[in-house]
Amino acid sequence: MRPLRARMACAVENADLRQRLDKALTHTIAAREDRVRERADWEALRDAAAARRRHALERLPDLLEEFERNATASGARVHYAQTAGEATDLVAGFTGRPAAPLVKSKSMVTEEIGLRIALAGAGIAVVETDLGEYVIQLANSTPSHIVAPVIHLSAGDIARVFRSELGLDIPEDNDPRTISLAARAHLRDAFLRAEVGMCGANFLTAAEGAVVVCTNEGNAGLCTSLPRRLIVVAGIEKVMPDLASLHECLVLLASSSTGQRQNCYLNILRGPRAGGEPDGPDSVDIVLLDNGRSALLGDDGLWESLACIRCGACLNACPVYGVTGGQAYGWVYPGPIGIVLSPFLGSPEGRAMADACTLCGACGDVCPVRIDLPACISHVRARGAPRLPGIPSAAAAAFSTSPFGLLAGLVRARSRRQGRVRLGPARAWSLGRELPPCSGVPFRRLWRDEGGDDE
Amino acid sequence: VTPARERILRRLREASREPGHERPPALSSVAGWGPPGASPIETFAERFRHFLTVGDETYGSFRTARSIEEAAQSAAEVLRSAGAGSLVAHPSALCVEVLDLLPETGFSPARADRVAEAEAALCEADLLCVETGSYLIRPCDGWARAGSLLPPVQVVLGRESALVGSLGEALQAVSGWNASCCAVISGPSRTADVEKTLVVPAHGPRELHLILALGR
């Protein structure tokens, strides 16, 4: 894989990608704003959801044990996995060798650990049933958004994938409705034949031992109803005290992710089917994954990021994501929340992703659970960029006379002539940015004129 | 007890945060939902219908029925207009009453295990949530989970007494149910994965019709 900077630069140059992102993000942002306007209690919802998620994280080990007790009492089996490898081994063991491919609904945690690909390596066929994820699977690609995996692709791109990989007869007008209905028809048989189903969890609830999954397509409902065996993979941070405590989070999740008043389907799962029920799984295995989350909980600057409900609103609001899309980040969680999670949850980029941020604060403004993402990103940056010997702090540099003062003078002079900064080492950085002209008066003079001192 | 479990829980306890956040109180109850002056039924109807409309198309309906005969008449109209010949039916008393009154229009109730072939489903909602315009349903002996997903046309009966105000209240009720699962359903299935164009249906039903039995 090429370096992060090269991938980002390449994405910025891709006019088609920018156009598709612009259309998709504009649509989603407008829909979310409609929801914000129609809920007079929007800020109260955010306050309550933020408090509920933090309340749960502060009691995480107790809630996990309570969840385990109650899920087990309902007949489910609960397992713990410290790493991606442990989770994959557990899932492969439960799955065995089914006669038909396992059907799976969209789950970011399974993307995080590369589960589908790992299972394929173990000889276990998996079919993604979310339309976007199915396209990603067929195209052998990676999702570009945690809610909308294929916003980087046009209808024509998707139709080509279906024609070439499935032989579907999709007319050349590439109508989104025709494409979507073709996928529905094609996947129906996979649902009906599957022996094993898999889903993630938007939330777990301790008091009921329940797994809560939200979808619009209805695919999670089918994955968890028709096959006789069900496997759930969930991050350990997903647990909440009880179902009632999900109220605000569920409203905010739908509104912040897709601008809906509510997701079409909330599936609340509590163990295998009861006697007499015509369908539903006979066995339910729930894998609770750590994969760096316990370390994140111990980080004083970043632990609140575990409150994330994966709505993707911070991606939609991020000006960097808006021009690069998600694949340029090179990891399953792109955008602001991805930057914060990356040092802990196994990103190959580690802290380097923090460079892909302007610290504009838009992500923090929209986060439904009030995660202070700009502060978190600053925290990642500060820890990832130890000061080099001989490089002064920003404050010291601002008030030094040389060489910073000389450099600042040159920038101002160049700015007066060209209208924007394009100077020396800042040239590459400034190519993708529109900056206002520099002030003709140095900050130091303004500061002193206002009575400030150099300390 | 596995080593992974013990290690994860130990790490979490070591990382444990000082409890600094109290559990917030539940949001307000039914009185707080909907425009001022609107009844819970009017508010539920507006929110339920909201999910049915995509562009110029409408994928279902909301009706009220003052008698069981009226409910059966509405169900028959829906099934006839959808061209549904076979249906799976929920075993609830309300569904059985309606089923018995369906006029001779060629409907043949299918067995619950034939849900994949059924052209329509007739079920009774356990709860109706005013805040979100959603209905809640759980499986039982004779009603498959997939009954709400596979048949393309869904006719849902709801009792007026099943109305609850907030989603939180609905979830509180689910907490007390001894059911292996519950679905909170808000409109027909949909996807917008292709260029953000909203398409109905995705994997679930294409039509959702709710008949509210008044006074029941």
pLDDT in tens, A244-277: 999 999 999 999 999 999 999 999 999 999 988 9
pLDDT > 90 in chain A, percent: 78
Average pLDDT, chain A: 89
**pLDDT at position A383 over 90:** no
Give the per-residue pLDDT at A442: 78
Binned at pLDDT 50, 70 and 90, residue A361 comes out as very high
Q: Closest Cα partner for A229 from A285, A269, A183?
A: A285
Radius of gyration of chain A (CA): 24
d(CA A1, CA A348): 10
pLDDT for residue A429 is more than 50: yes
The Cα B106–Cα B122 span in angstroms is 15
pLDDT at A394: 47
Q: Which of A225, A249, A273, A304 to mutate to test the interface with B (most CBs of B within 10 A)?
A: A225
Q: Across the interface, which of A54, A80, A181 has its CB nearest the CB of B8?
A: A80
Number of Cα atoms under 13 Å in the Cβ half of residue A305? 30
pTM of the model: 0.89
Whether A81 contacts chain B with CB within 8 A? yes
- The minimum CA-CA distance between B11 and chain A, rounded to whole Å, is 6
pLDDT for residue B33 is more than 70: no
pLDDT at B55: 87
Q: What is the pLDDT of residue B23?
A: 76
Residue A398 confidence (pLDDT) above 80: no
A306-319 average pLDDT score: 97
Which DSSP letter does residue B127 get? E
B199 in A contact zone (CB under 8 Å): yes
Size of interface A-B (CB pairs under 8 A): 270
User: pLDDT at position B108, please?
Assistant: 75
Sheet holding A196-199, edge to edge: A77-81, A283-289, A229-235, A196-199, A102-104, A126-128
Rounded distance, CA B92 to CA B87, Å?
Answer: 15
Higher pLDDT, B109 or A437: B109
Distance, in Å, from the CA atom of A358 to the CA atom of A381, rounded to the nearest integer, reads 12
What is the band of A405 on the pLDDT scale with cuts at 50, 70, 90? low
Whole-number pLDDT of residue A388: 42
Residues of chain A contacting residue B168, judged by C-beta atoms under 8 Å apart: 244, 247-248
| pLDDT at site A396 | 47
Give me the mean pLDDT over the A4-26 stretch.
94
Q: Which are the contacts of A141, defined by CB distance < 8 A and separation ≥ 6?
A: A135, A327
Amino acid letter at A129? T
DSSP lists the bridge partners of residue B161 as none
Residues 131-160 of A with CB under 8 A from B: 131-132, 135, 148-151, 154-155, 158
* A294 to chain B: closest CA residue: B12
In this predicted structure, the answer to whether residue B32 has a pLDDT above a threshold of 80 is: no
A244–B194: do the CB atoms touch at under 8 Å?
no
| Contact status of A23 with chain B (Cβ, < 8 Å) | yes
Q: What integer is the mean pLDDT of A372-386?
A: 86
Q: Does B2 have pLDDT greater than 90?
A: no
What pLDDT score does B201 carry? Answer: 96
Q: Which of residues 92-121 of B touch A (CB under 8 A)?
A: 112-113, 115-116
Q: Give the Cα separation of A373 and A304 in Å (integer).
A: 9
pLDDT band at A393 (very low <50, low <70, confident <90, very high): very low
Instruction: Tell me which residue of B188, B187, B88 sits closest to B144, measured CA to CA.
Output: B88
**What pLDDT sits at residue B105?**
63
B34 confidence band (pLDDT: 50, 70, 90): low
Output the pLDDT for position A241: 96
Q: Do A261 and B21 touch (CB under 8 A)?
A: no
Q: What pLDDT shows up at residue B86?
A: 87
Tell me the CA end-to-end span of chain A in Å, nearest whole number.
46
pLDDT, tens only, A129-164: 999 999 999 999 999 999 999 999 999 999 999 999
State the average pLDDT over residues A100-107: 96
Task: Say what the ipTM of the complex is.
Answer: 0.95
CA trace torsion A96, A100, A101, A106 (10° rounding): -100
